[in-house]
Amino acid sequence: MVEIQLTNTRSRSKERLVPIDPQNLRMYLCGPTVYDRAHLGNARPVVVFDVLYRLLRHVHGARHVTYVRNFTDVDDKINAAALARQQQGDPRPLEELIRERTEETIGWYHADMDALGALRPDHEPRATDYIPQMIAMIEDLVAKGHAYAAEGHVLFDVRSFPDYGQLSGRSVDDMIAGARVEIAPFKRDPMDFVLWKPSDAELPGWDSPWGRGRPGWHIECSAMSEALLGRSFDIHGGGIDLQFPHHENEIAQSCCAHPHDEFARIWLHNEMLQVEGRKMSKSLGNFFTVRDLLDQGIPGEVIRFVFLMTHYRKPMDWTADKAREAEAVLRNWHIFSENVQPADEPDSIVVDALADDLNTSAALTRLHALLKEAMDAGSGTFSELRRKFLASARLMGLLLPGSEEWTKPSKVQAEIRETLSALGIALQQHRRAKNYDRADAIRNQLLDLGVKVQLQGTDCSFSWITPHNPSEAQQLLEEIKAITLEEK
């Protein structure tokens, strides 16, 4: 069996993945807080862990892998988004507005991540469905002396867990110096973090031994991972920004609640995504969502390819140049694998590259080499290599069935072409009937839409640029159709 090596943040070295239960390899990834569209950075962990999920399924068998990614659907940012709607005059109760907002955002998230070719995890728990488990865990932590209630809050007592900070390799005092910790009079130590907080009558809340309130963010993942994966599982992942405090706090909660279990064996973190060399931020004007790119006509597969060009442990830079390069490569690859049946087994060098701490860029290099090898080979080997190539690309979530659609002219593009050609015939008829005013009017109307008309004898041809954005393309089609209708 292929040996998988992964860099464990905790040991800061590559470790062999030895499944706790070979029949059920278990992985948890911290998912999004569902108050808005996913930005491009949020998509990076999704793609990285999708490649790992595909690799695990390949090596261990799809039935022997369980992947969980949560939705954080209780959060102050969600409340704020719903409150803003109320202030804008929406008369509905906050609860309904929150429900609508989280449902809508989860729908967007699914659509956007599907477009990147990411498989849906086996379980996608919503935090609000696991409140009783969170309350039980907090009660257990209080009973064991690791947490205390104060003024309607329950706080985790960081000094009660000597290993706190081990994941980041830092002491509590170092972390205090570097962190923006919230000072509150009811905290015993500034590093103590919230497990439960009170909700006023307006905000979402649940009854608990400490009054009506809501959970802190960190306890959500500890409770949901235990409920769905058990007290010890194989891999826990997320962006490197989650290492501290979120993951340190998850470890503190889970290991203090269950001191005889492992919690997560390997901690895997992806580095951050930047845009054109700069941190993505709203104030720099380089902040965009996955949907923004898809709407500009950049296919999800192209976004995925650009991500795979950089190793997950290195910062990655999204650039327009890389997207163009990826698009050109993928167009070629789609032509190369058209009407090909994938081989049963992917190329072993591709598998080995991925098994070596997800070396996706080496895997892509190998795919380029396979293609070249196939082109230089005799016909028998050519088909065999093509089939291997396709199976290997699919292991990385590329060239998936149906993904070639974006390389073909779209339905709208084809319809624009047809409508124009009908209009061309009408235009020539007007000219033959010496109805020059009408012919010129059509030409000018088209010119206003950015469509140039060339007339040569009885020939009529058009040149135009179909907008990348599907809704703009649709609008162009409607406007051309409106001219056609005037003809009838």
User: Considering only residues 20-39, where is the footprint of Zn ion by CB under 5 A?
Assistant: 30
Place of tokens 């069996």: 1
User: Considering only residues 269-288, where is the footprint of ligand AMP by CB under 6 A?
Assistant: 270, 272-273, 280
245 lies in the site for ligand AMP, by CB under 6 A: no
385 lies in the site for ligand AMP, by CB under 6 A: no
What is the smallest separation between the CB atom of 443 and ligand AMP, expressed in angstroms? 49
Q: Name which of 42 and 392 has its Cβ closer to ligand AMP.
A: 42
For residue 103, how many C-alpha atoms fall within 13 Å in the half-sphere facing its CB?
6
Q: Name which of 31 and 342 has its Cβ closer to ligand AMP.
A: 31
CA 451, CA 429: separation in Å to the nearest integer?
19
41 lies in the site for ligand AMP, by CB under 6 A: yes
Residues 6+ apart with CB under 8 A from 382: 374, 375
Site residue total, ligand AMP (CB under 6 A):
15
Q: Is the separation of the CB atoms in 62 and 55 below 8 Å?
A: no
Q: Which of 25, 27, 30, 326 binds ligand AMP (CB under 6 A)?
A: 30
CA 170, CA 168: separation in Å to the nearest integer?
5
216 lies in the site for ligand AMP, by CB under 6 A: no
Residues 6+ apart with CB under 8 A from 374: 336, 381, 382, 385, 386, 389
User: Considering only residues 146-185, where is the footprint of ligand AMP by CB under 6 A?
Assistant: none
Which range, of 56-64, 107-115, 234-242, 386-394, touches ligand AMP by CB under 6 A? 234-242
What is the smallest separation between the CB atom of 43 and ligand AMP, expressed in angstroms? 8
Q: Is the separation of the CB atoms in 141 and 254 below 8 Å?
A: no
What is the smallest separation between the CB atom of 235 and Zn ion, expressed in angstroms? 13
CA 349, CA 326: separation in Å to the nearest integer?
21
What is the smallest separation between the CB atom of 84 and Zn ion, expressed in angstroms? 26
Measured at the CA of 9, the angle between CA 187 and CA 23, to 5 degrees, comes to 105
Q: Is the separation of the CB atoms in 160 and 145 below 8 Å?
A: yes
Residue at shortest CB range from ligand AMP: 239
Nearest residue to 195 (alpha-carbon basis) of 139, 243, 261, 237: 139
What is the smallest separation between the CB atom of 158 and ligand AMP, expressed in angstroms? 21
Q: Name which of 292 and 345 has its Cβ closer to ligand AMP.
A: 292
Nearest residue to 117 (alpha-carbon basis) of 289, 301, 350: 301
Binding site for ligand AMP (CB under 6 A): 30, 32-33, 41-42, 44-45, 238-239, 241-242, 270, 272-273, 280
Point out which residues bind Zn ion (CB under 5 A): 30, 221
